[in-house]
Copies of this chain bind each other. A is one copy, B any other.
Amino acid sequence: MARTSLSGFPEWLPAQRIVEQAVLDVIAETFELHGYASVATRAVEPLTELLRKGETSKEVYVLSRLQADPSDPAAESDADRLGLHFDLTVPFARYVLENAGHLAFPFKRYQIQPVWRGERPQDGRFREFVQADIDVVGDGTLPFHYEVEVPIVAARALGALRELGLPPVRVLVNNRKVAEGFYRSIGLDRPEEVLRIVDKLAKVGPARVAGMLADEVGASSDQAEACLALASLSGGVEVVERVRSLAAEHRVVLDDDPAAELLEDGLAELGELLRQAEDRAPGVVTADLSVARGLDYYTGSVYETVLLGHENLGSICSGGRYDSLASDGRRTFPGVGISIGVSRVLSRLFSAGLVEATRAVPTAVLVAVADEATRPASDAVADALRDRGIAADVAPSAAKFGKQIRVADRRGIPYVWFLSTQDDGAVRHEVKDIRSGEQVEADPATWEPPAQDRRPRAVPTPG
């Protein structure tokens, strides 16, 4: 990581930035191949928008103008104070409401931007970080099949990053309807509370969760045991049948009770998602009935993602289905989305030494300068290469050739181009691969570097 005077605000050195760009390009390309359109929103939102979810208030950075002019009619009143967005969902929901008349629904968008949270920085958690989100939003209704598509697209984007050195991921899925239907079916009628408690399982262990379920939602020991058993289930599509059996063991309602129907509805969705994901992104998506985070505000499928071997990083890609992503009172816009924590992933890729750039500059060729009087001839060679899409630079000074080669070497530029005037006045062009030392005659109008040398690439660190 680049040295930086402010903790929580990561910056990358030029070679790391090349990796970041490669990662973002792979993600954006995957999103575009699946029909998602790019949207960028402003960095700021009215504080009133940002504070709808009360629990995030302490994370918000609020803006003020250093020398706000009180006589300015546009001076900030409390009502229109601005804050930096802490995610890309709140601004997207506002964008959808403001531009609904210009958008075609279902509207599929991706958005790759920084977000800001005024939290205390710690490993993998930053105050400024880049997220890459996709969401599909409908006008009034949104078919379930988008709940299948979204985690598949995320799995493919993360899968495509394996070529750059990203370890494999596992996308964990659950469904709010399954959890709520299950809890209600066994006689627990405060599902949000149950979810909040079960969410602590990894942190406090099953015994304390059972105790909290008894104390806080009045669960019997059988009910608590059923909740823990549900949370222990994970795996492929066979999980559906195991949930059904577990529910049958503990159920206190009839088949046609709304709770039982909600559970069946959720299990049908979960099964469909698992089957299709296995078909279209094999080996990546699994059910994990312990995933409870977000289930209190999502209304259908919910997703989390772990980086295998780096589970301690937490989820690197999360999301789910909202029946009301946005609403203006008249129209309601349901949505489903997922968000890749790009900065979190990058910082681990760098700290674990998993990926590197083949060089620190775009330049493929450094054109040497024999003396300052002939710099225009070197510029002309560089321009001829650029005209054919080959990134070129000209040596900063007409130093000794050995020093000019070191200029290229320090930046990882693979080729140095030399011009020399022959006795007959003709200019001889030669290009040297400074890695192998091989030097050959070349024509600026036709010479091509091998494809893998044209631009810097992000590659897994060797060894």
- A contacts, CB < 8 Å to B: 2-6, 9-14, 17-18, 20-21, 32-44, 46-47, 57-69, 72, 74, 82-84, 94-95, 98-99, 102-104, 106, 108-109, 114, 116, 118, 120, 128, 143, 145, 276, 279-280, 360-363, 375-376, 379, 382-383, 386, 389-393, 396-397, 407, 410-411, 455
Contacts and interface: CB of A to CB of B under 8 A. Distances in A.
A39 B57 contact: no
B74 A65 contact: no
Given A11-B95, A62-B63, A393 B108 contact: yes
27 contacts: A2-B95, A2-B102, A3-B102, A5-B98, A6-B42, A6-B82, A11-B40, A14-B38, A17-B40, A18-B37, A18-B38, A32-B455, A33-B389, A35-B362, A37-B362, A42-B128, A43-B84, A43-B114, A58-B67, A60-B66, A61-B65, A61-B66, A74-B120, A104-B410, A104-B411, A276-B379, A279-B376
A435 to B, nearest CB: 17
Contacts of A4: 42, 98
A14, A64, A74, A109 — which one has the most chain B CB atoms within 10 A of its CB?
Answer: A14
A131 to B, nearest CB: 14
A362 B62 contact: no
A42 B102 contact: no
A59 B4 CA distance: 24
Contacts of A33: 362, 386, 389-392
Shortest 7 CB-CB contacts between residues of A and residues of B: A35-B393, A32-B362, A65-B118, A58-B67, A9-B42, A35-B363, A33-B386
A356 B20 CA distance: 30
Contacts of A376: 276, 279
Contacts of A114: 43
B13 A99 contact: yes
Contact of A3 (B60, B63, B98, B383): B98
A28 to B, nearest CB: 9
Contacts of A116: 43
A302 to B, nearest CB: 22
A44 B6 contact: yes
A65 B64 CA distance: 11
A70 to B, nearest CB: 13
Contacts of A13: 99, 102-103
Contacts of A67: 57-58
Nearest to A50: B66
A95 B2 CA distance: 8
A299 to B, nearest CB: 19
Nearest to A413: B35
Contact of A99 (B3, B62, B120): B3
Nearest to A385: B33
B393 A5 contact: no
A362 B36 contact: yes
A46, A383, A390 — which one has the most chain B CB atoms within 10 A of its CB?
Answer: A383
Contacts of A109: 14
A453 to B, nearest CB: 14
A104 B3 CA distance: 15
A198 B438 CA distance: 57
Contacts of A38: 14, 17-18, 21, 362
B95 A128 contact: no
A391 B14 contact: no
A347 to B, nearest CB: 14
B361 A35 contact: yes
A3, A33, A36, A383 — which one has the most chain B CB atoms within 10 A of its CB?
Answer: A33
Contacts of A392: 33-35
B280 A383 contact: yes
A341 to B, nearest CB: 17
B98 A83 contact: no
Nearest to A156: B386
A120 B20 CA distance: 35
B83 A66 contact: yes
A25 to B, nearest CB: 11
Contacts of A393: 34-35, 108
A63 B66 contact: no
Contacts of A20: 40
